[in-house]
Structures are given as structure tokens and as C-alpha cells.
Amino acid sequence: MSRARDTAQADGRQGETSPAAPAPSTDGDAHQVPRPLLAPDEPPAFEIINAGGRGSAVLLCDHASRRIPRRLGDLGLDAAALRDHIAWDPGAAEVARRLSDLLDAPLTASGYSRLVIDCNRPLQSPESVTERSAGIVIPGNLTLTPAERAARIDALFRPYHDAVDALLHDRRDRATAVLSIHSFTPTLNGGRRPWHAGISHWRDRRLAERLLAALRRDTTLTIGDNQPYPIDEDMDYSVPVHGDGRGLPAVMIEIRQDVIATAAAAAAWAARIADAYRAIDLPAPSAADPQ
Ligand SMILES: [Zn+2]
């Protein structure tokens, strides 16, 4: 979770963009070539765990990390903000890793914070490189030049999604479903959120319906149907592009952060989701959605 759009909408902000600046020089002058965003000794833009997984699930974790590239410093934020849910989805990577193991599923996890560039936002979204999240201004994102924005896209967003594209392409003849793993805050704008977890879908809701039914067999759980967040092609990237865009059944699984706050709790939720996934019949691919 920690979707900035909650507060962006709440405070009426409509996604103004930075004024256009000149494009960087491409005349070959070495002094004009921008340095890459990531230094050679920094971790890569993404990690693939269990790349050769034989199961039908393909896992994504768009908000796995709160790391900031060294060159960007702290984006003007204090340490508390950089540990906060605005920077990442606490617990989501832990659940995703356990699921990767339980379902023998490849997992692609983003290596850097959503505050640098959000891998689950279309590039045209004002929240792609958000200037504000949960009421907190992100100083390091306020005056980006087009070149600086392009550097983040090239270093982080593209490699992550290119890796997912390649992985799905390699599996094109095998039954595959895309599961995008996120976490959300227990409260929003002072209100308690009732769902332990939510299953969200875009156009093809067959996989979501089956997983919902399986998870709801445990009547002690409150599972959201397209809650806490519906998927919107203007706001979401991974499910519309890698799922519906390829005709693959796909869901976003959101888990409330307080129910996966420890490794043991995250493992228990991974087991619950794995059990639900194993209990259903995977829907057949649909017609790919043209993007
Ligand atoms: Zn998320």
C-alpha cells in the first residue's frame, strides 16, 4: 500500500508537473553525458528469486525496498520518513519471498524505494515520481529536470519491468498467473481499515473471484474485493500491463501491515495465500488487452 493517491486526492492536488527543461545534450561530449543513477557498487534495480521456479504463479513485489540510490542522498527526508510506509510496503517482500518458496514461483522484487520512482505507476502518472505522499513533501522530487527523471526511469523502472517482461515471455507456453504482492496501512485518514487483506483485479476478475472464495472459507478473515484499492490503469502498472496486457490472469494481493509485522506472521500469511492458490483452478488465458 501506502499509496500516495490517498492523500493526493484528499488534499485536492491534481498532479501538476514540473516545467519543461531542455533535454540533455546528446552531442557525444563526454562532459555532457549524465552519470548513471546507480554506482557500480550499489545493488541492482531488481532481484529475481527462484527464476527457474516451476509453479504457475509469477510473483512481483513492486514496493519491496526502501533503499535510495546514494546519489540522491535522503531525498530531503528524515530517517523516520525513510523507514515509513511512504517509502515501501513493509512486510510485503517477506510474504512474497515465502510465497516464492511455497509455490516454487519466480519472484521479481524491486530494489529501490517507490519514492525514487514508483514501479506500480504508469510513467505519465503524477505519482510516478511523487512530490508528496501521505501529506509529506518529498523535497528531492520537487524540481526534477527531464534528464533527472529519465535517469530514474532508465536505472530503475525500465530494468525492473524489462525483467518481468523477459520472464513472462520465456514462460509464454506455460500456465501462468501474475500475483503482485503489496501491503497497506492499518489506518487511513484516521479511519481503521477492516480488511486483513484484499484481492484486486483489473478487467479479468476470474482469478480474483476464485482466490476470494478460497480465502473467505476462513470466516474469521475479512478479505476485501477490490478493496482497499481497485486497480485503475491510470494509477496501476503491474497488473494492467503484465497481467491483462498479456491476457494472463492477474491479481494484486494487498495485506494489512499489522498482520504481517513479524517474520512468523508474514510466513503464516504466505502459507494461507499459497493454500488458497493451490485450491483453485487457474483460469485460462484471455485475449490480451492492447496497451
Ligand atoms: Zn504497494
pLDDT tens-digit profile of 51-64? 999 999 999 999 99
If one compares 267 and 289, the residue with the highest pLDDT of the two is: 267
Give 235 Cα–ligand 1 centroid separation in angstroms. Answer: 12
Domain count, the chain: 1
Give 243 Cα–ligand 1 centroid separation in angstroms. Answer: 16
For the cut 50, the answer to whether the pLDDT of residue 236 exceeds it is: yes
If one compares 166 and 284, the residue with the highest pLDDT of the two is: 166
Give 32 Cα–ligand 1 centroid separation in angstroms. Answer: 36
pLDDT the model gives residue 19:
41
- The model's pTM is 0.88
pLDDT the model gives residue 12:
34
Give 92 Cα–ligand 1 centroid separation in angstroms. Answer: 8
Give 27 Cα–ligand 1 centroid separation in angstroms. Answer: 39
pLDDT tens-digit profile of 58-96? 999 999 999 999 999 999 999 999 999 999 999 999 999
Placement of cell 483452478 in the chain? 281
The answer to whether 250 touches 202, Cβ cutoff 8 Å, is: yes
Q: Which residues, 6 or more positions from 242, have their beta carbon under 8 angstroms from its beta carbon?
A: 60, 161, 164, 165, 168, 178, 180, 248, 250
Inside any domain, residue 4: no
pLDDT the model gives residue 288:
73
For the cut 70, the answer to whether the pLDDT of residue 210 exceeds it is: yes
Beta bridge pairs of residue 192: 187
Give 283 Cα–ligand 1 centroid separation in angstroms. Answer: 25
Q: Which residues, 6 or more positions from 81, have their beta carbon under 8 angstroms from its beta carbon?
A: 87, 136
Inside any domain, residue 33: no
Pairing of strands 250-256, 197-200: antiparallel
DSSP the chain: ---THHHHHHTT-----PPP-PPPP-S--GGGSPPPSS-TTSPPSEEEESTT--SSEEEEETT------GGGTTTT--HHHHHSTTTS-TTHHHHHHHHHHHTT--EEEE-S-TTT--TTS-TTSTTTT-SEETTEE-GGGTT--HHHHHHHIIIIIHHHHHHHHHHHHHTTTS--EEEEEEEE-SEETTEEP--SEEEE-SS--HHHHHHHHHHTTSTT--EEES-S----TTT--HIIIIIGGGT--EEEEEEEGGGGSSHHHHHHHHHHHHHHHHHSPPPPP-PPPP-
Inside any domain, residue 71: yes
Inside any domain, residue 138: yes
CATH number, domain containing residue 171: 3.40.630.40
Give 30 Cα–ligand 1 centroid separation in angstroms. Answer: 38
Mean pLDDT over the full length of the chain: 90
Give 245 Cα–ligand 1 centroid separation in angstroms. Answer: 20
Inside any domain, residue 34: no
User: Could you give phi then psi for residue 200, rounded to 5 degrees?
Assistant: -120, 145
pLDDT over 70, % of the chain: 87
Give 64 Cα–ligand 1 centroid separation in angstroms. Answer: 8
Give 114 Cα–ligand 1 centroid separation in angstroms. Answer: 9
Q: pLDDT band at 291, cuts 50/70/90?
A: low
pLDDT the model gives residue 239:
98
C-alpha radius of gyration, the chain, whole number: 19
The answer to whether 151 touches 69, Cβ cutoff 8 Å, is: no
pLDDT the model gives residue 188:
92
Give 166 Cα–ligand 1 centroid separation in angstroms. Answer: 22
| CA pair distance 153, 66, nearest whole angstrom | 17
For the cut 60, the answer to whether the pLDDT of residue 138 exceeds it is: yes
Give 88 Cα–ligand 1 centroid separation in angstroms. Answer: 7
Q: pLDDT band at 11, cuts 50/70/90?
A: very low
Give 214 Cα–ligand 1 centroid separation in angstroms. Answer: 23
pLDDT the model gives residue 35:
77
Inside any domain, residue 286: no
Q: pLDDT band at 10, cuts 50/70/90?
A: very low
Give 24 Cα–ligand 1 centroid separation in angstroms. Answer: 32
The answer to whether 242 touches 168, Cβ cutoff 8 Å, is: yes
Containing domain of residue 154, as a range?
Answer: 43-279
Segment among 15-19, 36-40, 266-270, 285-289 with least mean pLDDT: 15-19
Q: Which of 73, 134, 92 is nearest to 259 (CA)?
A: 92
Beta bridge pairs of residue 198: 224, 254
Inside any domain, residue 208: yes
Give 282 Cα–ligand 1 centroid separation in angstroms. Answer: 24
Give 252 Cα–ligand 1 centroid separation in angstroms. Answer: 9
> What is the pLDDT averaged over residues 237-263?
97
pLDDT the model gives residue 26:
45
Give 183 Cα–ligand 1 centroid separation in angstroms. Answer: 6
pLDDT the model gives residue 6:
45
Give 26 Cα–ligand 1 centroid separation in angstroms. Answer: 36
Q: Which residues, 6 or more positions from 174, have their beta carbon under 8 angstroms from its beta carbon?
A: 56
Placement of cell 513485489 in the chain? 61
Give 65 Cα–ligand 1 centroid separation in angstroms. Answer: 10
Protein residues with C-beta less than 5 angstroms from the ion ligand 1: 63, 89, 182
pLDDT the model gives residue 34:
65
For the cut 50, the answer to whether the pLDDT of residue 4 exceeds it is: no
Inside any domain, residue 289: no
pLDDT the model gives residue 216:
98
